[in-house]
Amino acid sequence: MHKEHTLTKNQQIIFDLIDKSSEPLKAYSILFNVQKKGIKAPLQVYRALDKLVEIGKIHKIESRNAFIACHNSSCQVAKATAFSICEICEKVTEISSAGLSKYLANFKDKDGMKYSKYNLEFFGLCKKCR
Amino acid sequence: MHKEHTLTKNQQIIFDLIDKSSEPLKAYSILFNVQKKGIKAPLQVYRALDKLVEIGKIHKIESRNAFIACHNSSCQVAKATAFSICEICEKVTEISSAGLSKYLANFKDKDGMKYSKYNLEFFGLCKKCR
DNA sequence: TAACACTGTGTAATAATATAACATTAATAT
DNA sequence: ATATTAATGTTATATTATTACACAGTGTTA
Ligand SMILES: [Zn+2]
Ligand SMILES: [Zn+2]
Ligand SMILES: [Zn+2]
Ligand SMILES: [Zn+2]
Protein backbone atom coordinates (compact mmCIF):
# COMPACT_ATOMS: atom_id res chain seq x y z
CA MET A 1 0.00 0.00 0.00
CA HIS A 2 1.27 3.43 -0.79
CA LYS A 3 1.84 5.87 1.98
CA GLU A 4 -0.89 8.47 1.73
CA HIS A 5 0.24 11.77 0.35
CA THR A 6 -2.01 14.73 -0.02
CA LEU A 7 -1.41 15.85 -3.54
CA THR A 8 -1.28 19.52 -4.35
CA LYS A 9 -3.52 20.99 -6.99
CA ASN A 10 -1.09 20.61 -9.87
CA GLN A 11 -0.03 17.16 -8.75
CA GLN A 12 -3.66 16.03 -8.51
CA ILE A 13 -4.58 17.37 -11.93
CA ILE A 14 -1.65 15.63 -13.54
CA PHE A 15 -2.06 12.41 -11.61
CA ASP A 16 -5.74 12.23 -12.55
CA LEU A 17 -4.90 12.61 -16.21
CA ILE A 18 -2.26 9.88 -16.11
CA ASP A 19 -4.38 7.64 -13.94
CA LYS A 20 -7.32 7.60 -16.29
CA SER A 21 -5.18 7.19 -19.40
CA SER A 22 -5.00 3.76 -20.95
CA GLU A 23 -1.52 4.41 -22.25
CA PRO A 24 1.68 6.02 -20.99
CA LEU A 25 1.62 9.78 -21.38
CA LYS A 26 4.49 12.00 -22.37
CA ALA A 27 5.24 15.22 -20.57
CA TYR A 28 4.31 17.57 -23.38
CA SER A 29 1.16 15.64 -24.15
CA ILE A 30 0.25 16.07 -20.49
CA LEU A 31 1.06 19.76 -20.73
CA PHE A 32 -1.21 20.13 -23.73
CA ASN A 33 -4.03 18.36 -21.92
CA VAL A 34 -3.88 20.37 -18.72
CA GLN A 35 -3.49 23.82 -20.19
CA LYS A 36 -7.22 24.36 -19.90
CA LYS A 37 -6.79 23.76 -16.16
CA GLY A 38 -4.25 26.54 -15.82
CA ILE A 39 -1.00 24.61 -16.05
CA LYS A 40 0.84 26.50 -18.70
CA ALA A 41 4.53 25.70 -18.53
CA PRO A 42 6.64 22.54 -18.96
CA LEU A 43 8.25 23.08 -15.59
CA GLN A 44 4.93 22.88 -13.81
CA VAL A 45 4.40 19.50 -15.41
CA TYR A 46 7.90 18.21 -14.73
CA ARG A 47 7.76 19.30 -11.11
CA ALA A 48 4.53 17.43 -10.54
CA LEU A 49 5.84 14.39 -12.42
CA ASP A 50 9.03 14.35 -10.33
CA LYS A 51 7.06 14.40 -7.14
CA LEU A 52 4.57 11.77 -8.28
CA VAL A 53 7.43 9.48 -9.29
CA GLU A 54 9.16 10.09 -5.98
CA ILE A 55 6.13 9.06 -3.96
CA GLY A 56 5.39 6.11 -6.19
CA LYS A 57 2.05 7.20 -7.62
CA ILE A 58 3.40 7.04 -11.14
CA HIS A 59 6.38 5.44 -12.87
CA LYS A 60 8.51 6.61 -15.74
CA ILE A 61 8.93 4.25 -18.67
CA GLU A 62 12.52 5.13 -19.42
CA SER A 63 12.70 3.70 -22.91
CA ARG A 64 9.66 5.73 -23.93
CA ASN A 65 10.03 8.92 -21.88
CA ALA A 66 6.48 8.42 -20.73
CA PHE A 67 4.59 8.04 -17.50
CA ILE A 68 1.96 5.60 -16.22
CA ALA A 69 0.07 5.40 -12.97
CA CYS A 70 1.03 2.68 -10.54
CA HIS A 71 -1.81 0.23 -10.20
CA ASN A 72 0.21 -2.22 -8.25
CA SER A 73 -0.91 -2.05 -4.65
CA SER A 74 1.98 -4.24 -3.59
CA CYS A 75 4.48 -1.87 -5.17
CA GLN A 76 5.85 -0.91 -1.79
CA VAL A 77 9.24 0.02 -3.04
CA ALA A 78 8.36 2.58 -5.66
CA LYS A 79 11.79 2.26 -7.12
CA ALA A 80 11.73 -1.44 -7.94
CA THR A 81 9.68 -1.67 -11.09
CA ALA A 82 9.09 -4.01 -13.99
CA PHE A 83 7.08 -3.53 -17.14
CA SER A 84 6.19 -5.30 -20.34
CA ILE A 85 6.08 -3.17 -23.43
CA CYS A 86 4.48 -4.14 -26.72
CA GLU A 87 6.72 -3.18 -29.60
CA ILE A 88 3.80 -2.81 -31.98
CA CYS A 89 0.99 -1.06 -30.13
CA GLU A 90 3.18 0.35 -27.34
CA LYS A 91 0.87 -0.98 -24.66
CA VAL A 92 2.66 -0.99 -21.31
CA THR A 93 1.76 -3.18 -18.37
CA GLU A 94 3.31 -3.06 -14.94
CA ILE A 95 4.43 -6.52 -13.93
CA SER A 96 3.49 -7.57 -10.46
CA SER A 97 5.27 -10.80 -9.73
CA ALA A 98 6.38 -11.73 -6.25
CA GLY A 99 8.81 -14.22 -7.72
CA LEU A 100 10.43 -11.69 -10.02
CA SER A 101 10.75 -8.96 -7.42
CA LYS A 102 12.14 -11.42 -4.92
CA TYR A 103 14.65 -12.71 -7.43
CA LEU A 104 15.81 -9.23 -8.38
CA ALA A 105 15.92 -7.93 -4.81
CA ASN A 106 18.10 -10.87 -3.88
CA PHE A 107 20.27 -10.78 -6.95
CA LYS A 108 23.94 -10.27 -6.15
CA ASP A 109 26.43 -9.07 -8.72
CA LYS A 110 29.89 -10.56 -8.88
CA ASP A 111 31.06 -8.24 -6.11
CA GLY A 112 28.28 -9.59 -3.92
CA MET A 113 26.41 -6.32 -4.18
CA LYS A 114 22.62 -6.30 -3.80
CA TYR A 115 20.31 -3.68 -5.26
CA SER A 116 16.98 -2.62 -3.87
CA LYS A 117 16.33 -0.20 -6.69
CA TYR A 118 15.95 -1.36 -10.25
CA ASN A 119 13.95 -0.85 -13.39
CA LEU A 120 13.21 -3.69 -15.76
CA GLU A 121 11.57 -3.29 -19.14
CA PHE A 122 10.58 -6.36 -21.14
CA PHE A 123 9.88 -5.98 -24.84
CA GLY A 124 7.68 -8.21 -26.95
CA LEU A 125 4.23 -8.44 -28.45
CA CYS A 126 1.09 -8.12 -26.40
CA LYS A 127 -1.79 -10.58 -26.62
CA LYS A 128 -3.62 -8.52 -29.22
CA CYS A 129 -0.58 -8.00 -31.44
CA ARG A 130 0.72 -11.56 -31.47
CA MET B 1 30.79 -13.72 -29.56
CA HIS B 2 29.44 -10.92 -31.66
CA LYS B 3 28.82 -11.48 -35.30
CA GLU B 4 31.51 -9.63 -37.16
CA HIS B 5 30.38 -6.43 -38.76
CA THR B 6 32.62 -4.22 -40.78
CA LEU B 7 32.01 -0.81 -39.38
CA THR B 8 31.84 2.16 -41.67
CA LYS B 9 34.06 5.15 -41.13
CA ASN B 10 31.65 7.09 -38.95
CA GLN B 11 30.60 4.02 -37.03
CA GLN B 12 34.23 3.12 -36.36
CA ILE B 13 35.15 6.61 -35.18
CA ILE B 14 32.22 6.71 -32.80
CA PHE B 15 32.64 3.16 -31.59
CA ASP B 16 36.33 3.76 -30.86
CA LEU B 17 35.48 6.80 -28.78
CA ILE B 18 32.86 4.96 -26.75
CA ASP B 19 34.98 1.86 -26.44
CA LYS B 20 37.92 3.64 -24.91
CA SER B 21 35.79 5.72 -22.57
CA SER B 22 35.61 4.69 -18.95
CA GLU B 23 32.14 6.10 -18.61
CA PRO B 24 28.93 6.17 -20.65
CA LEU B 25 28.97 8.89 -23.27
CA LYS B 26 26.10 11.10 -24.31
CA ALA B 27 25.32 11.80 -27.93
CA TYR B 28 26.26 15.46 -27.91
CA SER B 29 29.42 14.81 -25.96
CA ILE B 30 30.31 12.30 -28.66
CA LEU B 31 29.48 14.86 -31.30
CA PHE B 32 31.77 17.40 -29.68
CA ASN B 33 34.59 14.88 -29.50
CA VAL B 34 34.43 13.73 -33.10
CA GLN B 35 34.01 17.08 -34.78
CA LYS B 36 37.74 17.21 -35.42
CA LYS B 37 37.31 13.97 -37.37
CA GLY B 38 34.76 15.51 -39.69
CA ILE B 39 31.53 14.42 -38.06
CA LYS B 40 29.67 17.66 -37.79
CA ALA B 41 25.97 17.02 -37.25
CA PRO B 42 23.90 15.31 -34.56
CA LEU B 43 22.28 13.08 -37.12
CA GLN B 44 25.58 11.60 -38.14
CA VAL B 45 26.15 10.63 -34.53
CA TYR B 46 22.66 9.27 -33.97
CA ARG B 47 22.79 7.20 -37.12
CA ALA B 48 26.02 5.57 -36.08
CA LEU B 49 24.72 5.03 -32.55
CA ASP B 50 21.54 3.41 -33.84
CA LYS B 51 23.51 1.00 -35.97
CA LEU B 52 26.01 0.19 -33.22
CA VAL B 53 23.17 -0.53 -30.81
CA GLU B 54 21.44 -2.67 -33.42
CA ILE B 55 24.47 -4.88 -33.96
CA GLY B 56 25.21 -5.07 -30.25
CA LYS B 57 28.55 -3.25 -30.18
CA ILE B 58 27.20 -0.69 -27.77
CA HIS B 59 24.22 -0.41 -25.45
CA LYS B 60 22.09 2.55 -24.48
CA ILE B 61 21.68 3.26 -20.78
CA GLU B 62 18.09 4.40 -20.97
CA SER B 63 17.91 6.13 -17.62
CA ARG B 64 20.94 8.23 -18.52
CA ASN B 65 20.56 8.73 -22.27
CA ALA B 66 24.11 7.53 -22.64
CA PHE B 67 26.00 4.81 -24.44
CA ILE B 68 28.63 2.26 -23.43
CA ALA B 69 30.54 -0.35 -25.37
CA CYS B 70 29.58 -3.95 -24.84
CA HIS B 71 32.44 -5.80 -23.20
CA ASN B 72 30.44 -8.88 -22.59
CA SER B 73 31.57 -11.50 -25.04
CA SER B 74 28.69 -13.73 -24.06
CA CYS B 75 26.18 -11.01 -24.85
CA GLN B 76 24.78 -12.97 -27.77
CA VAL B 77 21.40 -11.42 -27.66
CA ALA B 78 22.26 -7.78 -27.93
CA LYS B 79 18.82 -6.86 -26.76
CA ALA B 80 18.89 -8.62 -23.41
CA THR B 81 20.92 -6.36 -21.20
CA ALA B 82 21.53 -5.67 -17.53
CA PHE B 83 23.52 -2.95 -15.86
CA SER B 84 24.42 -1.66 -12.45
CA ILE B 85 24.52 2.10 -12.06
CA CYS B 86 26.13 3.96 -9.19
CA GLU B 87 23.90 6.79 -8.06
CA ILE B 88 26.82 8.82 -6.81
CA CYS B 89 29.63 8.55 -9.33
CA GLU B 90 27.43 7.34 -12.20
CA LYS B 91 29.74 4.42 -12.94
CA VAL B 92 27.96 1.88 -15.10
CA THR B 93 28.85 -1.79 -15.34
CA GLU B 94 27.30 -4.32 -17.64
CA ILE B 95 26.19 -7.33 -15.67
CA SER B 96 27.11 -10.65 -17.13
CA SER B 97 25.35 -13.30 -15.13
CA ALA B 98 24.21 -16.55 -16.67
CA GLY B 99 21.78 -17.04 -13.82
CA LEU B 100 20.17 -13.66 -14.27
CA SER B 101 19.86 -13.87 -18.02
CA LYS B 102 18.46 -17.37 -17.77
CA TYR B 103 15.95 -16.28 -15.16
CA LEU B 104 14.81 -13.31 -17.22
CA ALA B 105 14.69 -15.18 -20.50
CA ASN B 106 12.50 -17.81 -18.87
CA PHE B 107 10.33 -15.40 -16.95
CA LYS B 108 6.66 -15.68 -17.85
CA ASP B 109 4.17 -12.93 -17.10
CA LYS B 110 0.70 -13.79 -15.87
CA ASP B 111 -0.46 -14.39 -19.43
CA GLY B 112 2.30 -16.95 -19.81
CA MET B 113 4.18 -14.64 -22.14
CA LYS B 114 7.98 -14.89 -22.39
CA TYR B 115 10.29 -12.08 -23.46
CA SER B 116 13.62 -12.47 -25.18
CA LYS B 117 14.29 -8.75 -25.16
CA TYR B 118 14.67 -6.79 -21.99
CA ASN B 119 16.67 -4.09 -20.34
CA LEU B 120 17.39 -4.10 -16.63
CA GLU B 121 19.05 -1.27 -14.75
CA PHE B 122 20.03 -1.73 -11.13
CA PHE B 123 20.73 1.34 -9.01
CA GLY B 124 22.93 1.50 -5.95
CA LEU B 125 26.38 2.49 -4.80
CA CYS B 126 29.51 1.13 -6.36
CA LYS B 127 32.41 -0.29 -4.35
CA LYS B 128 34.25 3.01 -4.24
CA CYS B 129 31.22 5.05 -3.20
CA ARG B 130 29.89 2.76 -0.49
C1' DT C 1 5.12 38.06 17.21
C1' DA C 2 9.06 37.69 13.84
C1' DA C 3 12.44 35.06 11.73
C1' DC C 4 13.30 30.92 9.48
C1' DA C 5 13.03 26.78 6.75
C1' DC C 6 10.54 24.14 3.57
C1' DT C 7 7.60 23.23 -0.22
C1' DG C 8 5.09 24.49 -3.96
C1' DT C 9 3.89 27.92 -7.64
C1' DG C 10 4.35 31.08 -11.92
C1' DT C 11 7.00 32.70 -15.66
C1' DA C 12 10.59 33.29 -19.05
C1' DA C 13 14.44 31.68 -21.11
C1' DT C 14 17.37 28.13 -22.54
C1' DA C 15 19.70 23.58 -22.58
C1' DA C 16 19.83 18.90 -23.99
C1' DT C 17 18.15 15.14 -26.67
C1' DA C 18 16.45 13.42 -31.01
C1' DT C 19 14.26 13.29 -35.69
C1' DA C 20 12.42 14.89 -40.48
C1' DA C 21 13.39 15.96 -45.07
C1' DC C 22 16.10 15.98 -48.99
C1' DA C 23 20.13 15.38 -51.99
C1' DT C 24 24.03 12.58 -52.80
C1' DT C 25 27.38 8.77 -52.71
C1' DA C 26 29.13 4.04 -51.76
C1' DA C 27 28.52 -0.80 -51.49
C1' DT C 28 26.07 -5.08 -52.81
C1' DA C 29 23.39 -8.09 -55.52
C1' DT C 30 21.61 -10.03 -59.72
C1' DA D 1 24.95 -2.62 -66.12
C1' DT D 2 21.32 -1.94 -63.33
C1' DA D 3 18.71 -2.23 -59.39
C1' DT D 4 18.74 -2.15 -54.57
C1' DT D 5 20.23 -1.22 -50.20
C1' DA D 6 22.93 1.18 -46.87
C1' DA D 7 25.47 5.08 -45.51
C1' DT D 8 26.56 10.02 -45.81
C1' DG D 9 26.19 15.28 -45.62
C1' DT D 10 23.46 19.18 -44.59
C1' DT D 11 19.84 22.13 -42.88
C1' DA D 12 16.16 22.71 -40.23
C1' DT D 13 13.14 21.43 -36.68
C1' DA D 14 10.84 18.66 -33.07
C1' DT D 15 10.92 16.81 -28.52
C1' DT D 16 12.40 16.41 -23.85
C1' DA D 17 14.10 18.63 -19.77
C1' DT D 18 16.37 22.18 -16.78
C1' DT D 19 18.11 26.88 -14.95
C1' DA D 20 17.10 31.02 -12.88
C1' DC D 21 14.45 34.09 -10.36
C1' DA D 22 10.44 36.02 -7.89
C1' DC D 23 6.91 34.93 -4.87
C1' DA D 24 3.21 32.55 -1.84
C1' DG D 25 1.68 29.27 1.70
C1' DT D 26 2.68 26.37 5.82
C1' DG D 27 4.63 25.06 9.81
C1' DT D 28 8.43 25.57 13.26
C1' DT D 29 10.77 28.00 16.66
C1' DA D 30 13.16 31.68 18.93
ZN1 LIG E 1 4.01 0.39 -9.35
ZN1 LIG F 1 0.39 -4.74 -28.81
ZN1 LIG G 1 26.63 -6.36 -23.87
ZN1 LIG H 1 30.26 5.15 -7.38
Residues 33-92 of B with CB under 7 A from strand D: 38-44, 47-48, 51
Fold of A9-69: Arc Repressor Mutant, subunit A (1.10.10)
Domain-wise residue ranges, chain B: 9-69, 80-124
Three-state DSSP string of B24-65? CEEHHHHHHHHHHHCCCCHHHHHHHHHHHHHCCCEEEEHHHC
Specify whether the CB–CB gap between A124 and B93 falls below 8 A: no
Give CA–CA dist A54/A52, Å, rounded. Answer: 5
- Residue pair B60/B67 in contact (Cβ under 8 Å)? The answer is yes
* Mean pLDDT computed over every residue of chain B: 93
Question: What is the Cα–Cα distance from B33 to B130, expressed in whole angstroms?
Answer: 32
The structure's pTM equals 0.94
* pLDDT tens for each residue of chain A, 130 residues long: 344 679 999 999 999 999 999 999 999 999 999 999 999 999 999 999 999 999 999 999 999 999 999 988 655 557 899 999 999 999 999 999 999 999 999 999 999 999 989 999 999 999 999 8
Contacts of B107 in chain A (CB under 8 A): 97, 100, 122
B88 CA vs D22 C1’ separation (Å): 32
Give the pLDDT band of residue B4 (cuts 50, 70, 90). low
CA distance A107 to chain B (A): 8
> What does the pLDDT read at residue B118?
97
List the single range of A74-78, B48-52, B53-57, B85-89 with lowest mean pLDDT. A74-78
What is A80-124's CATH topology? Dna Ligase; domain 1 (3.30.1490)
